[in-house]
Amino acid sequence: MTLDPGAAFRLDGKVAVVTGASAGLGARFARVLDAAGARVVVAARRADRLDRLALQLHDGFAVACDLAEDGAAEALVAATLAHYGRVDIVVNNAGVSEPTPALDEDTRKFGHTLRVNLVAPFELAREAARSMIAGDGGTIVNVASIWGVVGVGQIPEAGYAASKGGLVNLTRELGAQWARKGVRVNCLAPGWFRSEMTEGLMFGDERAERWIRQRTPMGRGGEEHELDGALLFLASDASTYVTGQVLCVDGGWTTV
């Protein structure tokens, strides 16, 4: 038998759904899964960007939707099943971030952040898992953040921190519930990466970038490609004995 470690990371024939795919890390995730052989459903609110991305993939399919709306997750899974007949991988990447001091963060805004960052990923995971359990199983990757593991403080985001902390423990609970049903659930927790969300907040501002360099043990923020391996590990058969885990890709931020 020939040993080929790289084969475990291949996704040939798999169908992957990536939310928040119209820009930033989500678009990158879609391209990485595509390069590994997956057929990729890209989902977000901005249809024009999704359509362009889908055309760049080998076998891409765009579904414009707002996952904060009731029934959106069910419709996304239904569209995926209608187009490809299966769903094997879900990357719950869509999210919102609006830094506001907790004393000024009203309940409506706090609730909206939880709706997008925590409730919507649960709904999509649940709907996808129903199909996965009835079929050949699957894997769900929830994209959280270092905010889900530690507090930051200097950037006030109580709602965001609460939503990502909830997503981390939701990952553990779903991983435990579905472990014997063929569905693995894990969490990817990025540190400081340049994206549409962080541009202007943490990147492009010398003071903020200096703060990141000083506080991060590796002395820098992450490069976009440095999430590729972690994503493929969690999404592929390279991690078949891993579930309910949180993989921090943060240059050591959460170790100190």
- Whether 84 is a known active-site residue: answer no
DSSP the chain: ----GGGGG--TT-EEEEESTTSHHHHHHHHHHHHTT-EEEEEES-HHHHHHHHHHSTTEEEEE--TTSTTHHHHHHHHHHHHHS---EEEE-------B-GGG--HHHHHHHHIIIIIHHHHHHHHHHHHHHHTT-EEEEEE--GGGTS---SS-BHHHHHHHHHHHHHHHHHHHHHGGGTEEEEEEEE-SB--TTTBTTTBS-HHHHHHHHHHSTTSSPBPGGGGHHHHHHHHSGGGTT--S-EEEESTTGGG-
Report the alpha-carbon distance of residue 246 to residue 256 in Å, rounded: 17
Choose the catalytic residue: 160, 178, 192, 193.
Answer: 160
For tokens 């959106």, the residue is 72
* Catalytic residue numbers, as ranges: 160
